[in-house]
Amino acid sequence: MQETESRLWNLFQKIDRDQSGHLDKNELQSAFTRAGLAVPTDKLDRFFQDVDANQDGVISFDEWR
């Protein structure tokens, strides 16, 4: 469990390019692009709608995990 948590935290930090402590759509889209994945905007919007529990437009680490 601790190893999984650590991996999630490391991935979160890599995606959080501005080190703000949360992920916005641009950061996540950039991460997909760097990984060679093309994710349509509507799918990214749906992901955010599902994961962004408090609907503040960003994903915190607690929401991420």
> pLDDT class for 8, splitting at 50, 70, 90?
very high
Burial label, 17 (beta-carbon count in 10 A; 0-12, 13-18, 19+) = middle
Please give the pLDDT value at position 65.
87
Q: What is the CATH number of the domain that holds 29?
A: 1.10.238.10
Which pair of tokens denotes residue 65?
A: 């995990």
Burial label, 44 (beta-carbon count in 10 A; 0-12, 13-18, 19+) = middle
Asked if 45 contacts 39 with a C-beta cutoff of 8 angstroms, the reply is no
Say what the pTM is: 0.86
Domain hosting 35: range is 2-64
Give the total number of structural domains in the chain. Answer: 1
Q: State pLDDT tens for residues 10-65.
A: 999 999 999 999 999 999 999 999 999 999 999 999 999 999 999 999 999 999 98
DSSP 2-32: HHHHHHHHHHHHHH-TT-SSEE-HHHHHHHH
Please give the pLDDT value at position 1.
77
Please give the pLDDT value at position 52.
96
